[in-house]
Chain A
Amino acid sequence: AQSVTQPDIHITVSEGASLELRCNYSYGATPYLFWYVQSPGQGLQLLLKYFSGDTLVQGIKGFEAEFKRSQSSFNLRKPSVHWSDAAEYFCAVGEMTGFQKLVFGTGTRLLVSP
């Protein structure tokens, strides 16, 4: 069965510092991988996705993520965090069959200190 682990429940980063959010997945084949962000009271906004090809994917808001098959990881990075990045971040794995079913991690809440 598919599963996603986000080992960090909370992370605090100083504004302007770099960020890395960890995500490990379990899936029998090559997965679809996604990162979503959720601000309080809002829905999920897609940051980026990995489907195939280049293992370093660029997303919106200056985020990027790297797919590492050998480590079953898809970590999210940003070189310089802004106060507006404070939110909850979810990693998800989806099936490649075209079925629209995502399995989500438990999320990492990012706090940005001044």
Chain B
Amino acid sequence: KAGVTQTPRYLIKTRGQQVTLSCSPISGHRSVSWYQQTPGQGLQFLFEYFSETQRNKGNFPGRFSGRQFSNSRSEMNVSTLELGDSALYLCASSSMTASGNTIYFGEGSWLTVV
């Protein structure tokens, strides 16, 4: 069974540009969430989608947005990039089973803003 797949793995953008990151969850998983990881702030929750609906949102500005498609694939977008947006962006997918909610992460997308 394939894991969580994120593309692109690495990208460099210029301040003011926008970026779109993609995530394909594990087959059968309907919940997808996104996290930002930086050396200063650690791992922070961005948002979560389930069946194409945003269920939960972290404390990030409106420049950060996301969506989920009918096949559970998800994208996140960051507009008007700032230097501080440089980070590892991690996508996770999960499925609720009798043994609880197991959350699996992808390898991440490394974003550098210059």
Q: Are A104 and B42 in contact (CB under 8 A)?
A: yes
CB contact under 8 A between A90 and B33, given known A44-B105, A100-B48: no
Within 8 A of A (CB), among B81-112: 90, 92, 94, 96, 99-108
Q: From DSSP, what is the main secondary structure of chain B's interface residues? A: strand
- Contact-size category for A: 20 to 34
CB contact under 8 A between A34 and B107, given known A99-B48, A100-B94: no
Residues of B within 8 A of A94 (CB): 101, 103
* A-B residue pair count with CB separations less than 8 angstroms: 63
A98 within 8 A of B: yes
Please list the residues of chain B having a beta carbon within 8 angstroms of any beta carbon in chain A: 4, 6, 31-33, 35, 42-45, 48, 50, 55-56, 58, 90, 92, 94, 96, 99-108
6 shortest interchain CB distances as A-B pairs:
A51-B100, A104-B43, A44-B105, A43-B107, A100-B31, A43-B105
Can you list 29 A-B pairs, Cβ within 8 angstroms, ordered by A?
A34-B103, A42-B107, A42-B108, A43-B90, A43-B106, A43-B108, A44-B92, A46-B103, A46-B105, A49-B102, A51-B99, A52-B100, A92-B43, A94-B103, A99-B48, A99-B56, A100-B31, A100-B33, A100-B48, A100-B94, A101-B45, A101-B58, A102-B35, A102-B92, A102-B103, A104-B44, A105-B42, A106-B42, A107-B42
